[in-house]
Chains A and B, each alone.
Chain A
């Protein structure tokens, strides 16, 4: 659960009367919503390191792709799609 995963910002919208910037972030085939409140300068097309739904830093594209590829090869991307109860029981 301590993993931070790099992804690309596809779109940005503001919520809560313009106070909160939320992004759709693409991680390979999976898209997730992430808060951009910790990285106020991040813009569409940027790569960000996301931890439990919050972007914690902006990273360059090459770095993002290398890290993502490593996490994918190592089978570490499960937490993007929380396990169902059935999967947990089978573990």
Chain B
């Protein structure tokens, strides 16, 4: 039986658009944090349908895009120099490091494998006891339980040859950092649905309180996004700033407590460098000291140099919502998915790549 997906039902879409148009009386700037939402907004043409008063800016919520250059260099080094089997999600492969990408390293003979799940990397370690296996553990809170579980599975199996190179980032500290920036233009947030499926809502109440901004936890499908935008706009127009949950069919108040326990068992919070932005306090996870034999950073002494980003890349300003991809002089010229100057042009969840693939580029109305 085929279910017609009501989440992109044209009638519902136009109803929500109509209601947004009726509600809005003045300009508002709203940020969606999650790259999956950016991808859906651009791909489904929603940005072009919204009334001109509403500017959507695209936040730093693509884990591939914010993974620092030197960690990519480190992963490449492990594969090339330490004879490691380096396992990664496919999205990371084409991201340029300071000299090359993982894909180029693989072409040069390094043993780099693309996996769907970190749990598969544990299997590879089990099958190759004479090789070291490292999983490049990038991701937001949604992915943290899977990466943490891989460590627990390796521990249960007594594996000595498995570790993770953790580059985990967290949404609430990033919202704090964005809102603490005096230049911020963001007046309301769509928070990331699946992140909150894991974490629940509790971390978001203090953000709403502190920064007096509306936050609506929102799903990914076009109708979800429009409903989330409408909820933010209604709050902004009414001068309210509360936390609301558009995605209640997937997100509960407490989140998934089993997943939170597993994260807690394996990870502790750390300051984390966000590519294109800066070090954000408490914004990442690293492997707990008690499990440090599973931490590739501890296990392998890899020295990398801090390399500056490409001088013409404005990824940082884009991820802070200060500029849009089309404001970049190199967008679609020097910088393309086939030759990315910065990470947001690589992953399909990166704002620049989403604009490049789906928006018809220059036809976009200037914000």
Q: Which residues of A contact B (CB under 8 A)?
A: 1-4, 16-17, 19-20, 32-35, 37-40, 49, 51-54, 56-57, 59, 62-63, 65-67, 69-70, 73-74, 79-85, 88-89, 91
Task: Verify if B156 is at the interface (C-beta below 8 Å from A).
Answer: yes
Contact A53 to B145, CB < 8 A, known contacts A40-B258, A65-B3, A66-B6: no
Task: Choose from B1, B115, B119 the contact partner of A54 (Cβ within 8 Å).
Answer: B119
Bound: A70/B220 CA distance, A:
10
8 Å CB interface, B137-158 against A: 138-140, 142-143, 145-146, 149, 153, 156-157
Report whether A69 and B63 are in contact in the complex, using a CB–CB cutoff of 8 Å.
Answer: no
Task: Verify if B212 is at the interface (C-beta below 8 Å from A).
Answer: no
Closest Cβ neighbor of B43 among chain A residues:
A74
Task: Verify if B50 is at the interface (C-beta below 8 Å from A).
Answer: no
Task: Choose from B35, B120, B262, B338 the contact partner of A53 (Cβ within 8 Å).
Answer: B120
Would you mind naming 8 contact pairs between A and B with Cβ atoms under 8 Å apart?
A3-B194, A20-B156, A39-B258, A51-B194, A52-B89, A54-B146, A59-B249, A82-B116
> Which interface class (under 10, 10 to 19, 20 to 34, 35 or more) fits B?
35 or more
Report whether B142 and A4 are in contact in the complex, using a CB–CB cutoff of 8 Å.
Answer: yes
Contact A38 to B156, CB < 8 A, known contacts A54-B119, A82-B115, A88-B103: no
Expressed in whole angstroms, the minimum distance between the Cβ of A19 and any Cβ of chain B is 6
Q: Which residues of B contact A (CB under 8 A)?
A: 1-8, 34-36, 40, 43-44, 61-64, 89-91, 93-94, 103, 106-107, 114-120, 138-140, 142-143, 145-146, 149, 153, 156-157, 192, 194, 197-198, 220-221, 249-250, 256, 258-259, 262, 337-338, 347, 349
Expressed in whole angstroms, the minimum distance between the Cβ of B261 and any Cβ of chain A is 9
Expressed in whole angstroms, the minimum distance between the Cβ of A4 and any Cβ of chain B is 5
The residues of A that contact B249 with a CB separation of less than 8 Å are 59, 63
Task: Choose from B7, B43, B250 the contact partner of A59 (Cβ within 8 Å).
Answer: B250
The residues of A that contact B115 with a CB separation of less than 8 Å are 82
